[in-house]
Amino acid sequence: MSLDAVIVIDKPSGWTSHDVVARLRRILGERSAGHLGTLDPMATGVLPVVLGRYTRLAQFYNHSNKSYEGEIRFGFATDTYDAEGEPTGAPQPVEVKLEEIEKLSREFLGPQLQMPPQFSAKKINGVPAYKLARKKIEAELQPRPVEIFSLEILAADAPDRVRFQAHVSSGTYIRSIAHDLGQRLGCGAHLASLRRTAVAEFAIDGASTLEAVEIAVQTGNIEPLLIHPRRVLPDLPCVTANEETVTYIRNGRSINLPEFSKAKLVKVFANQAELVCVAERIAGTLFHPKLVLSLPIPAAVR
């Protein structure tokens, strides 16, 4: 039986996002699984994973904002813009002036065009840029529109290091922010560590380690680790439908929802926890199932 759910994993350092999903498939015995937003192997933190029919909800998270905390090291840049790369020049001694970094960080706020790192998953003629970079082939990357909502410098942990928090739009590379700060200061810099604290509505306080998930499965207590369906896509209003309406939805028919005449999308539940569909308003109070997550009940078992 399919496990239709969302679970938030606290990704360990050294794992790719794909590694985490593959491990979850084995632990949960669920073949259909996918993550909502890649994290670099070095990074830790929030990795939401959609399971079963809930993988179809991924389309609503393509442009989710994200929050991070981490550390930037000044004194030299790297080819990957993070601590896993090779230095692109000789390290130089620096002493961070916190006030100067704070002032400069404010200039990074707002909508802008950001150049992705050469070591990134951006595809050039179907080939990821990082594969070209490993062959010493410089990819012709294009800047992409992003927005940095906040970039707060918290403290200087050492003469050449600062801790920060950031809230950014989808597609923003924190590695590029660190690199660009170093370029602006003329001393070079790279991302020393990174932890993602939120993706959309999914926050670190609701995340579980892979070890905790494995123990929960072994003890038959996985449900507390899953995100309650009503907490998914919280910006969409919820409605609990009666049996007749649910039957219409399961068979792809439109439904009338007078109380949601101003909503574009609505989550429809069969009960407190069974998400039947996401319905889209097509005219007035008439909604049509945009995404059905609950299959029709065969006539033989009705």
Point out the least confidently predicted range of 121-125, 235-239, 292-296.
Answer: 121-125
Class of domain 236-301 as given by CATH? mainly beta
8 A C-beta contact, residue 13 and residue 44: yes
Cα separation, 8 vs 123, whole angstroms: 27
Domains in the chain: boundaries: 5-64+201-228, 67-192, 236-301
- For domain 67-192, the CATH superfamily is Pseudouridine synthase (3.30.2350.10)
4 noted as active-site residue: no
Class (C level, CATH) for 5-64+201-228:
alpha beta
Q: What angle do CA 236, 242, 247 make, to 5 degrees?
A: 95
Question: Span 57-82, mean pLDDT?
Answer: 96
Residue 181: name the closest of 116, 120, 107, 85 by CA.
107
Q: What gap in Å lies between CA 240 and CA 217, rounded to an integer?
A: 30
Is residue 299 very low, low, confident or very high in pLDDT (cuts 50, 70, 90)?
A: very low
Q: Is the pLDDT of residue 76 over 90?
A: yes
| Helix (H) / strand (E) containing 218 | helix 210-218
Say what the pLDDT of residue 118 is: 76
CA atoms of 175 and 79, how far apart (whole Å): 11
The answer to whether 5-64+201-228 and 67-192 have equal CATH topology is yes
- The percent of residues in the chain predicted with pLDDT above 90, rounded, is 81
Measure the CA–CA gap between 24 and 100, rounded to whole angstroms: 44
Catalytic residue among 40, 82, 157, 180: 40
